[in-house]
Amino acid sequence: MSDTHEIPQHTRRGRPAPRPAWRLALSGDRARTVAIVAAAIAGALILAMVVDIAATQDRVNPGVRVGDVAVGSMTPADARTALATAFSAGSKRPVTATFGTQKWSVTADQVGVRVDDTASVDAAMAVGRTGNVFQMLGARLGALLAGSSVPVIVNGDPERAAALLDEIDGVVSVAARDASVTVSGTSVGFVTSEPGRRLDRDRTLAAIVTAFVTTSRSGAVVAVGVPASVADDDAQQALADARELVSGGVKIAFESTVTQVSQEQVAGWVAFTRVPAVAPVAGLSQPASASADTSTGALAGQPVRLVAGFDPARIGVTIAALTKGIGQPARDAKFIASGGTVKVSPSQVGRGPDLAGLATDLARACVGGGARTATLRLTQTQPRLTTEAAKAMGVSDRISTFTTTYSSANPARVDNVHLLAKAFDYQLIPPGGAFSFNGAAGERTAAKGYQEAPAIVDGKLVPQLGGGVCQVGTTFFNTVFFSGLPILERHNHSFYISHYPKGRDATVSWGGPDFKFRNDTPGWILVRTATTSTSLTIALYGTDPGYTVRFTTGPFTNVVPHKVVEVKDPKLAKGVRITESNGVDGCRVTVIRTVYKGATVVRTDTFVSNYNPMDETVRVGTKGSSKTTTGTVSP
């Protein structure tokens, strides 16, 4: 075998070519030296890390921050103190909540912001202490060399923030617009849907409270999209049906009579209902009815499909002449109070025009191009309150009754008392239900027949629409007082009125003071009222709860004498004094009611009445006169 020799290669410029890679390998001695040095460095780092771990065993690792607060090398207790101190200073300044160009300045008190220093410091302590050994070493080195930060954990109080979030919600939230079909005259139109948006209250509150621990001191309001309940596609069938429904007039046959209804009248019958979009789609939409749900409330959160049809109630108005005298109306069961007991007058099933069936038949007849004719049939009509249902309500006994009297000298006031009493007659209160005087009577208006009569307004007796309402309020309060039922709200008059029971008057006003009580019996409660020209009686009937009522009425205290105001009257002879309105002293009186069931106290109520003084007004004559007289004018 002959020897081989490698001939060095040269570049064209005479430089030697690079040596092969194996020529660059270190010699054995040099490689061992590098390995020893590397091992020594690694050992030193490991030793330093071990020393560091030992030194910070019960402390936050160096370089760690909580938000903007440096807590490295601190004990957890010191870190919590540092964090609380920094937060306390920062929470004294408001932050800004932003939504587009809208801004709200928010204080810490408005949202009940507080820092969770324990959870925040626990997160800081976890840096470099979780994962495998290499992950822990890496995290510790990273914190030491470049720093490491964990977020500050802050919380807000949703109840305290409710008012602010409501205000923001009023600006941010926009209701989605459902697709809809419109009928104007005989023209049918279509309104496309549009998405809305609503405030994400939880995420917005989180963003605001977090702003208290950030340098920007600003939190973005979070809004989320709200899809329309009725998409465009889910209203197309209703659009097509509506166009056919209003395309012409109809004929309604009943016995030997056929009534022609114009296209314009038919168009006025069209109504739309909403059904779940997942419901089967019939070839023809089911007709709408007056009692059908026409809002998204009952189908909240579900996709909804529009359904076109005819409203039976509107049809009934149009063909009233045709249905007049047909059949017999249903009769509701009625409670008849006699003495201390109640009987039920039975209900009766009626018979009348089947308007719902007619609406269905007409709608089907109008869609598809067939004859636009339907026949009106008769059907049973059910009472709203059946005999069985009335008996099951438990209205059998008189629970309490009370009567107040008044003068018949003011016919307008008497009429108001009678009208208001009639509004309460036969009112029914379910078990557990709350009764509101204003809610049951409604606003007292001239349109309802109320007249102007003396009433107390701002502590003065002045003419007011519905004057006399407090006569009813006081009678009602005393009826409930002696029933033992829980009274939820009662207000005394602004000054003492001697012809009402001492400390047991009650004032009510639309939009102002109300009288409320709760039915805590197992059955329904029936309200009955009776009036004469000089008296009002209110009684409650139901299942007697067996309550016994005892009460004490305290003396008048905190008495404030009334003032006498003299008004000069040049029309009266000098020296003549006429009392125009009597004064009333201010005072305080307390009535305590204790309700027993057997020997057990069910409830104790304290009714405190604070009455203001009312000035006495006296007209004093200034005209020359030779005779001095006095007199009194009753209000």
Q: Specify the pLDDT at position 401.
A: 96
- Of the pLDDT bands very low, low, confident and very high (cuts 50, 70, 90), residue 152 is confident
Pick the more confident residue, 608 or 213. 608
Of 98-107, 282-291, 386-395, give the lowest mean pLDDT range: 282-291
Of 41-45, 135-139, 434-438, 611-615, give the lowest mean pLDDT range: 41-45
* 355, pLDDT greater than 50: yes
- What pairing do the DSSP bridges indicate for beta strands 452-457 and 547-553? unpaired
Mean pLDDT value of segment 23-34: 59
Sorted by where each begins, the domain ranges of the chain are: 52-156, 180-323, 393-632
* 27, pLDDT greater than 60: no
DSSP letter, residue 240 = H
Of 126-130, 183-187, 249-253, 358-362, give the lowest mean pLDDT range: 126-130
DSSP letter, residue 178 = P
Residues 450-490: tens digit of each pLDDT: 887 666 555 555 555 557 888 999 999 999 999 999 999 99
- Of the pLDDT bands very low, low, confident and very high (cuts 50, 70, 90), residue 10 is very low
Residues 164-200: tens digit of each pLDDT: 999 999 999 999 999 999 999 999 999 999 999 999 9
Q: Specify the pLDDT at position 49.
A: 58
- Provide the terminal-to-terminal Cα distance of the chain, rounded to the nearest Å: 148
∠418-424-426 over CA atoms, to 5°? 115
- Of the pLDDT bands very low, low, confident and very high (cuts 50, 70, 90), residue 56 is low
Hey, what are 623's tokens?
């005209």
Measured CA to CA, the distance from residue 2 to residue 257 in angstroms comes to 133
Please give, one letter per residue, the 3-state secondary structure of 129-165.
Answer: CCCCHHHHHHHHHHHHHHCEEECCCEECCCCCCHHHH
For 55, 59, 242, 270, 388, the CA distances from 188, given in Å and listed in that order, are 82, 76, 7, 10, 47
Provide the percentage of residues in the chain whose pLDDT is more than 70: 84
